[in-house]
Amino acid sequence: MDLDIFVVDAFTDEQFKGNSAAVVPLEGWISDTLMQKIAAENNLSETAFIVKNSNNSYHIRWFSPLTEIDFCGHATLATAFVLFHHLNVESEVEFTTNEVGSLTVKLQGNGKIEMNFPLQQPEPVLEAPTQILEGLSITPNKVLKNRQAYFAVYESQSEVEQVNYQSDILKQLAPLDVVVTAQGDEVDFVSRYFWPANGGDEDPVTGSIHTGLAPYWAQQLNKSRLKAFQASERGGQLNCDVDFASNRVTILGEGVLYLKGQIFV
């Protein structure tokens, strides 16, 4: 069986920046075991598999090298990029998912890709887990949590940039990951994302976690449109627009094709 594969650098307009994701279009679903093996062989933070429902509708699933993931923003952006630029889908696509409902993605005239996601607003925790306090080198001001991760909130961008983490300790928080965040110096907020339990140590750019970060910072800063930067080694830029009335957040980003090829399995 020969399968097409694309690799896209997401949330960037430069190759070797942002977060890389593989995209594998399928005629029909292959086994979960084979999809997991392909994702592990790719060894990228995410591999997205899609099956066409109709002309502008696709079912999407995401796999890290370790496990299937409920929701991945950067691989959704990468998949939309492939559909718009290489598979003749025009201007808008709807993704159906197993865990987070329907996701609408649009191609803007300026080339940016606009993704409409459900809010996943974090809530404060009464007592921070000891793994947060022991696994992060700087004690956060406060800790929140949503269905995806613990949120460690810091006083400054420099603390976010300087914090070190111990993967073996943070892994004990599974199935939840850890995001560290603070108000930004030149953007509205910054973050870093650690996910040793589900995919790797530090993720370069994590679209899904911004469905929780954006509403949190929208309330803190009293504004609905925010610019964000994920301060990983590769780095990534995101524009977020929060709509509390509809309980949705729009995240905008760009992508760059790195690779197009075939898998032989």
Residues that are catalytic: 46
Rounded-to-integer distance, Cα 186 and Cα 246, Å: 29
Residue keyed to tokens 């679209």 = 207
Name every residue whose Cβ is closer than 8 Å to that of residue 58 and which is 6 or more positions away in sequence: 50, 51, 52, 79, 83, 93, 94, 95, 96
Exposed (0-12), middle (13-18) or buried (19+): which is 86, by Cβ within 10 Å? middle
Distance in angstroms (rounded) separating the CA atoms of residues 18 and 230: 9
Report the distance separating Cα 163 and Cα 1, nearest Å.
Answer: 45
* Residues whose CB is less than 8 angstroms from the CB of residue 85 and which lie 6 or more positions away in sequence, other chains included: 257
Q: Where are the beta strands (DSSP E) in 64-174?
A: 68-69, 92-96, 102-107, 113-118, 123-124, 142-145, 149-153
Q: Are 114 and 250 in contact (CB under 8 A)?
A: yes
Instruction: For residue 129, give the 3-state DSSP assignment.
Output: coil
Q: Token match 């923003």: residue?
A: 73
Closest CA to 120 of 240, 6, 225, 204: 240
